[in-house]
Amino acid sequence: MDEFNNYNAQQEEYRANHAEYRQTENNRQSCYTPGDTNKPRQDKSRGNGAGGYVLTGVLCLLLGIAIGSGVTALALSAIRNAMDGIEEAGPSIGQEIEDALDDIFDGGFDFDFHYDQNNDFQTQGDEYVEQEAMEYIKRELPEFDGAAPVITDTQNPAPDIVEQVYDGVVGINTYGEYDGRMEMDGYGSGFVVSSEGYIITNAHVIRGAEKVTVTFSDQQEADAEVVGSDFTLDIAVLKVKKSGLIPLAIGDSDSVRVGEFTIAIGNPSGSELAGTTTFGIISAKARSINVDGQQNDYIQTDAAINPGNSGGPMLSMEGKVIGITTAKNIYAGYDEYGNSISAEGLGFAIPINEAMEIACQLIENGRIIRPGMGVNVIGIDADTAEYYGIPEGILIYSVTRNGSAHKAGLKVDDIIVEYDGIATTTQDEFVDYVKGLDLGDVLHLVINRDGKTVEIDVIMADMNEMGDELVGGTSRIIE
């Protein structure tokens, strides 16, 4: 189950109540290495010490290899590798080695030693690798043949609804390969939408899975084919080969009214609590919420939503699906001491009208083409900029490996200060602007990188072909 915070609201409240802490934090940050708050900076002395011993040992070892083998090229290659290995020791040691090598080889050793204090931002293997185009299968739309439950008790329709839809709610199991064998490493919920074998769940439930199965109310488990996923709205469609499926009736989320009762069914905490039913009301019809960097409108409910409920149905009092449970907010803010305050009754569901529109495209085409960059961003307003000592703009919080942003050279903690000639505004306005671009469009960015201005052009690519692996980790400025 995805969890999220309203970042800006929490930061504003936190700053308002902790002026003294901010000063302490600024002092602490000025004394510790960026990105590692537990390790104090080391004095990079040029005096003799560990660096001298390292220098002597490296030179003796490598010169011995060169003399013994008689192959100078091999020695030079080994020296370069050794220097790469001790690069983190600091610029002073590196310079000592370089000077010594110049003396030994009479100036004939041409090697630039580079020390990057922020080298921990990038690791080996962070280079962009061109991806093969994904293959998609064309399909015909099935019949969505779910029937609404027969209500015998209009005063309390919940028992009739639960009894008649129970068999159409399923558990989603994901597996990964460990030590040569498949082991379950995740779970969620889903529901049948067609007797032809189609099942809907959240895309984040199956993300990264090497194998997906579906568990039915009779505890039978069947392998599932992933028909398609859309990570922007967080919808995935699966298909199983099984007869006798009970599809759920699809309702109309546009007709939902605030204050109506609703039922959520799913598998919180896995199969042990399969089919758990919770009851609540509709708190809002179109609550704009940012979940995992994606801004969408959700139906808000106070029906209990827990890990494992993701992908399950949210039902009207007619027993029809009006939403797909997808997230809950577990924090309501911070108290006067900076401790988080738990939130209750804040669950969110994707409106079924939007979900079915995406599901139909996934079934027919296998994908939704959504132009994007492959980044998660955070808006940096004036107060946040002052607090962290950074410029205002749009902070690159994470970069997706082999996405278009990665290919263009964007890095974590770059701050966008201008895009296509527009001075940066809010996070939502930037995201909306990017969503309005087409596949192949070029977005011109002016960014601040460690105090320097850099201009980068990013070509919009299909978000659904970028995967979810990050390059360079996540922001070291805002953690």
Contact present, 72 and 62 (Cβ < 8 Å): no
Unique residue bearing structure tokens 């083998």 = 69
Taking 80 as the threshold, does the pLDDT of residue 136 lie above it? no
Residue among 204, 283, 413, 475 flagged as catalytic: 204
pLDDT digits (tens, 9 = 90+) for 321-347: 999 998 766 555 667 777 766 666 788
CA 31 – CA 39 distance, rounded (Å): 9
Taking the C-alpha atoms of residue 416 and residue 428, their distance in angstroms, rounded to an integer, is 14
Q: Which of 189, 230, 234, 316 is catalytic?
A: 234
Q: What is the pLDDT of residue 164?
A: 96
Is 413 among the catalytic positions? no
Give the long-range contacts of residues 277-285, CB within 8 A, separation 24 or more. 277/158, 277/162, 278/303, 278/304, 278/305, 279/158, 279/303, 280/304, 280/345, 280/347, 282/256, 282/257, 282/258, 283/258, 283/345, 284/258, 285/253, 285/256, 285/257, 285/258, 285/351
Of 94-103, 129-138, 444-453, the range with the lowest mean pLDDT is 94-103
Catalytic residue among 194, 310, 316, 404: 310
Is pLDDT above 90 for 396? yes
DSSP sequence for 221-285: EEE-EEEEEETTTTEEEEE---SS--PPPB--GGG--TT-EEEEEE-TTSGGGTTEEEEEEEEEE
pLDDT single digits (tens) 191-234: 999 999 999 999 999 988 999 999 999 889 999 999 999 988 99
Model pTM greater than 0.75?
A: no
Whether 204 is catalytic: yes
How many other CB atoms sit within 10 Å of the CB of residue 424?
21
Q: Is 18 a catalytic residue?
A: no
